[in-house]
Structure 1
Amino acid sequence: MTEHTLTVAGVAVDPRHWIGGERVASAGTFTDVSPIDGRALGEIARGTPAEAAAAVAAAKAAFPAWAATSRAERARILHAIADGVEKRLEELAIVETTDNGALLRSHRRGVMPRVAHNFRFFADWSLTLDHEDFETRGHTNHVSWDPAGPCVLITPWNAPLMLATWKIAPALAAGNTVVLKPAEWSPLTASLLADIAAEAGLPAGVLNVVQGYGSEIGDALTSHPDVRRISFTGSVPTARRIAASAAPHLTPLSLELGGKSPLLVFADADLDLAVDLAVEQYDNAGQVCLAATRILVEETVAEEFTRRFVAKAGALVQGDPREEATDIGPTIHPRQLEKIDGFVRRAVEAGARVVIGGHRVDERSYAPTLLTEVAQDSEIVQEEVFGPVLTLQTFADEDEAVRLADDTRFGLAATLVTGDRERADRVTGRLTAGTVWVNCFFVRDLKAPFGGSRHSGVGREGGTWSFDFYCDLKNTVTAPKGWNDHG
């Protein structure tokens, strides 16, 4: 441990940036606060444009050697990083829970194992990248995936390490170098990842971590002429600013943005399953971009669905996310809590009826909430709340269900519950969404494309789609003659 080290839940964390294989301090800091109890966890290096520029320079300097490293060697190092994640899984889990308030049991059993899997999957997938050569009038076409260059990755606070490595792993496997800017409300596990990567043998400058406020360093990163790719997960307004910043250099963007996803429940559905899926939308205190926050129920079963939903939701345990019995932890930040409460208060003023919840539990948490009697064009139906707030509307038939489901500016995901296979095929074919789940929720395979339509994003990631983004695809066309063959 050094004089700079913080101790968070018994784990040593360095609060400085990681640039060019070294820890770098800033003149200023910002306070990282735990949403669990409001306790200050420590002072974190507050990046400036100078540190942002230094990180891009380090990534640029490290790029030629890393790009020239064989796919097999890059994959070996990524697997070593995964080994390091698994070795420190408990530490990563408790630090992230302390930092962002998500359930410790989820971090232990699902999130951190997925972090390791991200590295293993993309390491292995990079070795399979291949397109069969084909001929054009006797000429041979050969497709290759070439490393693009330094990548800026900007990640959110709701699943910090998992969503960061969902970007970092394919970027590194592709032969790129990375500058990661983690969310200022949950920066700690990004710092631990830098340590793990260095211990795994990742060369200096290949992964850099710059902490701070997007308003202060974001433009310095996204407008930099040496950056070849930008990937961002977050809000639509921030995405617009990033796109404007990247535009002068035509830097390619991958944007995974907000959602206002529907959950459609038809009368022929297994209602117990439908209720289970609906209550699951309160996961992570509703702070999930994919959450199906608009529940649409066929009117003939709406009353029974609501009765069962209220009973199921009423059994949820809200409290300390470190406790095994807790189902819903705190909201990430008082500012977010105020935002959630504002949405609900305005909805009620506009005529919405509160079925359950509708209030703060304390200064850190919001009660699981269900609102009915909401207009389709109302703010609560059209805008992302990012909290444990669901709305319930009814529909008369399939056409109305699809019309209501698609009537927002978003298109990230949709969930459909029905006992009729033909109906499932018809409805999924009509819905506008990057992912549609039928009689299930949150089943994700890294081989599948992931992303949103309309205002929910630009591009797709996962499997080869990730490498299509993080690489420059090249087609080499070779003539059948012109060679000086000497036997």
Structure 2
Amino acid sequence: MSSVTGRVEVAGVEVSPDHFIGGERVASQSRFEDVSPIDAGVIAEVSRGGEREADQAVQAANEAFPGWAALGPAGRAGYIHRLADLIDENVERLAAVENADMAMLLRSLRARVISRGAKNFRSYADLATAYEERDWHSLGTWNRVQRMPAGPAAVITPWNAPFMLSTWKTAPALAAGCTVVLKPAEWSPLSCSILAELAAEAGFPPGVFNVLQGYGEEVGASLVSHPLLKRVSFTGSPEAGRQIGVAAARNLVPFTAEMGGKGPLIVFEDADLDAAARKAAGQYDDSGQVCLAGTRLIVQESVADEFLEKFHRYLDEQVLGDPREDSTTISPLIHPEHLQRVEGFVERARAEGHRIVRGGRRSEAGPLFYEPTLIEPTSNDAEIVQSEVFGPVLTFQTFSEEEEAVALANSTEYGLSGVLYTTSLGRADRVGRQVRAGIVWVNTFLVRDLTAPFGGMDISGIGREGGDYALDFYSELKTLQILEGSVG
């Protein structure tokens, strides 16, 4: 390993493709290709870390921890707010790089996604500062619950919305007083590289915020098994989550994970069908690469035909194209390997006799585009219904009674999110309570209150993020108990 100053130009922005460890850029001798989904071209040769780099990053985080923890919530808030300000000042740079790296729509990145990262940092800094320790008297003693920073934390984030999801996890960790080693996904690592530099510009002490590049099975595996870590937070697949959870358990390290979904979008006959159909067609946003998406359309039989007619009409308005263009509404898939995975799901469904209602093939819009696809399965047990595709593929099923809708909604191993469309408050409450999911939206979608708990049930995850739930995870809670009258 060696410190370097080499940079690459991505979408007109200079970016370092190397690790950020202990306040310095660190290169690995081995590198990997970062491919842009826009044209499947290589945009950077990125450092491919391993055990040595993981150890160096955790050691740096461990050395920086006592000083960062000692600052207290208010002291840390100053650094974190400066970082949020710098994110807002660099929206164009971050949006351009993330668009090239992941192909999320450029207009969405500029308008809301990057600024959401700044909001994450501000919100958690303010929540940590406003925290009030619980005091009470009991059994002749005075008691206080104290929140103590846990220590160095590993944060592993996915390739979809890499910048926003990285801030969603690192913000509460830093606000709680943990130091961080962030390992972004190898398919879209570059916006997190810029985040590291902004943290340094905001004055974060060396080692408080570190970024490791590389593959999960290499540098990621070494990271999560490191004995100096005190917390591990992960977002990704159930398969990877199980492996990370085992590694964390060996060191008795608390672990939280969000591991995807297969959300139901249930439409009752009393619903605003126009709004429901429009929102259903919108589930192809980001080419379906959204874990919270309602990918299983479950519609009451009496309105199924009318719903489908409206759904197709709204889908006809969608435009597959260059994600840098304002007219584009559906972007390409992230990587050639992922395109093959999505295509494999559809081809197996076709071979099993499930009805391809729409799409079901690659698009001529570009090398990594797949047409928005709707499949009507012949069985609820079908792979296409039960497994997360994470692409522009929805299924369509019908039901007659409310109980059947609930049964279909809860029939997969996942439990991350659900969407209901109904004008009945009683049904919204009744069905909302029965759907097994970490969040259920009624007549809306993807509205997120940062103070609310977020996470999945069953194989969709373990633990909760958001608000004080996240700050508590990155803390050790202890009770101070003093005999009354024994101190002055």
TM-score bucket of the superposed structures, by smaller chain: over 0.9
Alignment of structure 1 residues 472-483 onto 2, 5 Å: 472-483=476-487
Contact 2:278/2:310, CA 8 A, preserved across alignment: no
Amino acid at match of 2:264: P
| Higher alpha-carbon deviation: 304-313 or 123-132 | 123-132
Contact 2:451/2:466, CA 8 A, preserved across alignment: yes
Aligned counterpart in structure 2 of residue 18 of structure 1, from 2, 17, 20: 20
Paired with 2:196 and 2:387, the residues of 1 have a C-alpha distance of 36
Alignment of structure 1 residues 78-93 onto 2, 5 Å: 78-93=80-95
- Tell me the residue number matched to 1:452: 456
Q: Secondary structure at the match of 1:424?
A: helix
Q: Secondary structure at the match of 1:31?
A: strand
Paired with 1:280 and 1:338, the residues of 2 have a C-alpha distance of 23
TM-score, length basis structure 1: 0.98
Amino acid at match of 2:371: A
Q: Secondary structure at the match of 1:328?
A: coil
Alignment of structure 1 residues 110-259 onto 2, 5 Å: 110-259=112-261
Aligned counterpart in structure 2 of residue 375 of structure 1, from 353, 374, 379: 379
Gaps of 5+ in 2: none
Paired with 1:424 and 1:23, the residues of 2 have a C-alpha distance of 52
1:210-251, Cα deviation, whole Å (9 max, x unpaired): 100011112211111100000000000000110111121111
- Does the alignment pair 1:313 with 2:315? yes
1:119-176, Cα deviation, whole Å (9 max, x unpaired): 1000111011114311112311101110000000000000101000101111000011
- Does the alignment pair 1:389 with 2:393? yes
- Does the alignment pair 1:348 with 2:350? yes
Amino acid at match of 2:293: A
- Tell me the residue number matched to 1:429: 433
Contact 2:105/2:323, CA 8 A, preserved across alignment: yes
| Higher alpha-carbon deviation: 215-224 or 11-20 | 215-224
Amino acid at match of 2:455: G
Note closer, same or farther for the CA distance 1:393–1:20 as it changes in structure 2 (3 Å cut): same
Paired with 1:46 and 1:237, the residues of 2 have a C-alpha distance of 22
- Tell me the residue number matched to 2:412: 408
Paired with 1:42 and 1:214, the residues of 2 have a C-alpha distance of 18
- Tell me the residue number matched to 1:419: 423
Runs of 4+ in structure 1 displaced over 3 angstroms? Answer: none
Contact 1:130/1:143, CA 8 A, preserved across alignment: no
Q: How many residues align?
A: 483
Q: Secondary structure at the match of 1:141?
A: strand
Deviation for aligned residue 1:3: 5.7
Amino acid at match of 1:262: P
Gaps of 5+ in 1: none
Contact 2:377/2:385, CA 8 A, preserved across alignment: no
Contact 1:376/1:382, CA 8 A, preserved across alignment: yes
- Tell me the residue number matched to 2:32: 30
TM-score, length basis structure 2: 0.98
Paired with 1:83 and 1:467, the residues of 2 have a C-alpha distance of 22
Paired with 2:119 and 2:5, the residues of 1 have a C-alpha distance of 34
Contact 1:61/1:205, CA 8 A, preserved across alignment: yes
Deviation for aligned residue 1:59: 0.2
- Does the alignment pair 1:467 with 2:474? no
Deviation for aligned residue 1:70: 2.4
Contact 1:130/1:144, CA 8 A, preserved across alignment: no
Deviation for aligned residue 1:333: 0.2
| Higher alpha-carbon deviation: 216-225 or 262-271 | 216-225
Paired with 1:420 and 1:224, the residues of 2 have a C-alpha distance of 52
Contact 1:374/1:381, CA 8 A, preserved across alignment: no
Paired with 2:5 and 2:478, the residues of 1 have a C-alpha distance of 49
- Tell me the residue number matched to 1:101: 103
- Does the alignment pair 1:331 with 2:333? yes
Amino acid at match of 1:463: G
